[in-house]
Amino acid sequence: MKIEKLNEDKIRITLNMEDLKENDIDFHEFMSNSVESQELFYNMLEKAEREVGFITDDYKVMIEALATTNGNFVLTVTRLSDNNEKLKNTYKKKKLNIKRKSSQVNSKKAIYCFETFDEFCEYCKFIRTNKFETIEDLANRICLYEYNSKYYLVLENLTMNINYLKSFASSITEFAHFVNTSHLFESKLLEYGNIIFKHHAISTCLKHFV
């Protein structure tokens, strides 16, 4: 992790995949703004305060995130002010006390939850309309389960191609939310869920339902 102070109100934080692994966060959790990724961000702000004197208490902040082609993540954090005066009572940095999950997480697998089958179809339609041709190349197996009246897209043996991952993460977050891929949840899905599409879930949906 590298922290650079660009000016009095702006810093740049550069992360790589190893930084995420050290904090028990995979790419999908980071991109989906999970509780764990929020905790990491607050920790980064505390580190920035210690290392470069960048204080965010009682300030609003704006965050710009960029994933680079070499697999790094660049966060530009801007401290907003009104004539360089603190904005009182507008923003308080929250301290999150979060226990680390005991279940193992498989970073080579991702699960996303759609509230309805229609929302999954809308996502597939979005992919076709925007010509995200790399989505089917993202994983060796892409299947769809129905469980407790919700639909779970499971991607197994994910490629680590950062361009594929960026396209996927940026497109799916408008339609579904990331599910922590613990072995316990996977077991429930396999045992109690109904398999809708065993392979090629996206292309099959496009062929028959969109």
Q: pLDDT digits over 109-157, tens only? A: 788 999 999 999 999 998 888 877 667 777 888 999 999 999 999 988 8
CA separation (Å) from 83 to 61, 80, 91?
15, 10, 17
Q: Are residues 179 and 114 in the same domain?
A: yes
Q: Are residues 119 and 197 in the same domain?
A: yes
Tokens of 106: 């498989």
Residue 26 predicted with pLDDT over 90? no
Percent of the residues in the chain that have a pLDDT greater than 70, as a whole number: 72
Q: Are residues 114 and 197 in the same domain?
A: yes
Q: Are residues 73 and 159 in the same domain?
A: no
Which of 88, 105, 175 lies closest to 135 in space, CA to CA?
175
Residue 173, pLDDT score: 80
Q: Is 103 inside any structural domain?
A: no
Residue 36, pLDDT score: 62
Q: Are residues 23 and 72 in the same domain?
A: yes
Q: Is 89 inside any structural domain?
A: no
Tokens of 161: 């191609």
Residue 92, pLDDT score: 43
Residue 187 predicted with pLDDT over 70? yes
Q: Is 143 inside any structural domain?
A: yes
CA separation (Å) from 28 to 32, 118, 191?
6, 23, 24
Of 80, 102, 122, the residue at which a domain comes to its end is 80
Q: Are residues 72 and 147 in the same domain?
A: no
> Distance (Å, rounded) from C-alpha 147 to C-alpha 189?
7
Q: Are residues 49 and 121 in the same domain?
A: no
Q: What angle do CA 97, 17, 190 make, to 5 degrees?
A: 75
**Predicted structure pTM score:** 0.56
Q: Out of 12-21, 54-63, 149-158, give the one with best mean pLDDT.
A: 149-158
Q: What is the rounded average pLDDT of the residues 74-86?
A: 70
Residue 182 predicted with pLDDT over 80? no
For residues 89 and 74, the model is more confident at: 74
- Tally of domains in the chain: 2
Exposed e or buried b per residue across 134-162, where buried means at least 16 C-beta atoms within 10 angstroms of its C-beta: bbeebbeebbbbbbeebbbbbbbebbeeb
Q: Are residues 120 and 185 in the same domain?
A: yes
Residue 93, pLDDT score: 44
Long-range pairs for 59-62 at CB < 8 Å and ≥24 separation? 59/86, 59/87, 59/91, 60/87, 60/90, 60/91, 61/91
DSSP annotation of 120: H
Residue 79 predicted with pLDDT over 60? yes
Residue 87 predicted with pLDDT over 80? no
Sheet holding 10-15, edge to edge: 2-7, 10-15, 73-80, 60-67
Q: Are residues 129 and 72 in the same domain?
A: no
Of 65, 80, 95, the residue at which a domain comes to its end is 80
Q: How confident is the model at residue 84 (pLDDT cuts 50, 70, 90)?
A: very low
Q: Is 138 inside any structural domain?
A: yes
CB 85 within 8 A of CB 21: no
The boundaries of the domain holding residue 74 are 2-80
Which of 25, 65, 23 lies closest to 47 in space, CA to CA?
23
Q: Which CATH number belongs to the domain containing residue 161 in this structure?
A: 3.30.70.1950
Q: How confident is the model at residue 98 (pLDDT cuts 50, 70, 90)?
A: very low
Residue 184, pLDDT score: 76
Q: What is the mean pLDDT of the chain?
A: 77
Q: Are residues 62 and 129 in the same domain?
A: no
Q: Are residues 139 and 63 in the same domain?
A: no
Q: Are residues 63 and 114 in the same domain?
A: no
Which of 106, 105, 125, 104 lies closest to 114 in space, CA to CA?
125
Exposed e or buried b per residue across 87-109, where buried means at least 16 C-beta atoms within 10 angstroms of its C-beta: eeeebeeeeeeeeeeeeebebeb
